[in-house]
Amino acid sequence: MTNNQPAPDGVLRLINGYWATGVIGAASAHSLFTHLENGADTAAKLAARAEISERGTQTLLDGLVGVGLVQLHEGRYRNGPEASAYLVEGKPASLTSFAQLKLKHMGGLVALPDVVRAGGPVTDPTTEVADNPHWEEVVPAIAAQSVPAATLAAEVLGLAGAGPISILDVGGGSGIYSAVWLEANPQARATQLDWAPINAIARRLLVERGVADRFTSVDGDFHTTDFGTAQYDVALYSHIAHQEGPENNIAVLARLRQALRPGGALVICDYVVDDDRGGPAFPLIFAAEMLLKSKQGGTWRRCDYHDWLLKAGFEDVSFHSAPPATLVVAR
């Protein structure tokens, strides 16, 4: 190796990125972050609480210190701030289910070289299949990720003080936006459009949150189900635009404009990339997920959203950072 050559450890860390997925997914499966939070601070204590081998526990702890999620001080382990905020079970923003889901999905990446050659899924696509059981696993696991975005959107739109408004959530999934927004505004009502088994999952969440009496669901395909005319004050399209191509997105956004009352607001939440495709990193990398799983999806640029929204009849478009996602608000 010559002196001016970079060291290989950065590339090696990236090539072995699946080690991090494995260690975090396995630690989540055995509730290690939760046990750490509750005071188990050695491999022996954690192994006893989790009822797993001490050798396996020590290996996970080493990996978690290696990826920077767990801290070691004088022989005692504890969660770092990110693990404490996002990997302890029972906290609203907990990502432990998502970590386990990603570990399960990892094998699918083996197809990526073929998918890249073909320009799309080589087996069955995920997003275009009606009632795909894939969503039943995905939506509860991603719900926590939408809590900060839903909370920010409620602030941006002033939902808490907006009175008896009517909300439409297209592809609402777990129902997490309706839960957060109906809690914020006790006079609001929400309707979610999604596949029937997914709406059943959402109803359970809304019951748990005590707001199910103001929640309605409509079963069906959002490409073909009528949204109505001038019925809603707020419409939501969260983490859907990335599974669709530009034409489909423009068509849905135009129907959402029609479904909104004059002055009503549309909120899009998604992984949005800069106009020159130079960043941010997370949305750029997420594009591979959509190549793998959808025929036409991708991570779209700010200028794409702006262009589609104007074509769909909206006049005023603003962008709000909700890392790693972006909220697009259109009126």
Ligand X SMILES: C[S@@+](CC[C@H](N)C(=O)[O-])C[C@H]1O[C@@H](n2cnc3c(N)ncnc32)[C@H](O)[C@@H]1O
Residues that bind ligand X (CB under 6 A): 127, 135, 139, 142, 146, 171-174, 176, 194-195, 198, 221-223, 238-240
Q: How far is the CB of 292 from ligand X (least distance, A)?
A: 14
Comparing CB distances to ligand X, the nearer of 33 and 222 is 222
Q: Minimal distance in Å, beta carbon 244 to ligand X?
A: 8
In the bound state with ligand X, the residue whose beta carbon lies nearer, of 32 and 235, is 235
Nearer to ligand X, 47 or 201 (CB): 201
Closest of 75, 76, 95 to residue 84, by C-alpha: 95
Cα torsion through 159, 320, 178, 257, rounded to 10 = 80
Site of tokens 């990398």: 285
Q: Please report how close the Cβ of residue 62 comes to ligand X at its closest, in angstroms.
A: 34
Q: Which is nearer to ligand X, 76 or 223 (CB)?
A: 223
Q: Give the nearer residue to ligand X in terms of CB position, either 27 or 330.
A: 330
Q: Are 193 and 169 in contact (CB under 8 A)?
A: yes
Smallest separation (angstroms) from ligand X to the CB of 136? 8
Tokens standing for residue 190: 């929400």
Length of the chain: 331
Q: Output 200 or 207, the one with its CB closest to ligand X.
A: 200
Q: Which helix (H) or strand (E) holds 263?
A: strand 260-270
What are the residue ranges of helices labelled H in 87-242? Answer: 96-105, 112-118, 134-157, 176-184, 196-208
Q: Which is nearer to ligand X, 35 or 189 (CB)?
A: 189
Minimum Å gap between C-beta 137 and ligand X is: 11
Give the nearest residue (CB) to ligand X.
173
3-class DSSP state of 28? helix
Helix (H, G, I), strand (E, B) or coil at 86: helix
What would you measure as the largest C-alpha separation in the chain, in angstroms? Answer: 69
Instruction: State whether residue 133 is helix, strand or coil.
Output: coil
Number of H helices, E strands in the chain: 14, 9
CB of 243 to ligand X, least distance (A): 6
CB of 282 to ligand X, least distance (A): 15
Which residues on neighbouring strands pair with residue 71, listed in sequence order? 78
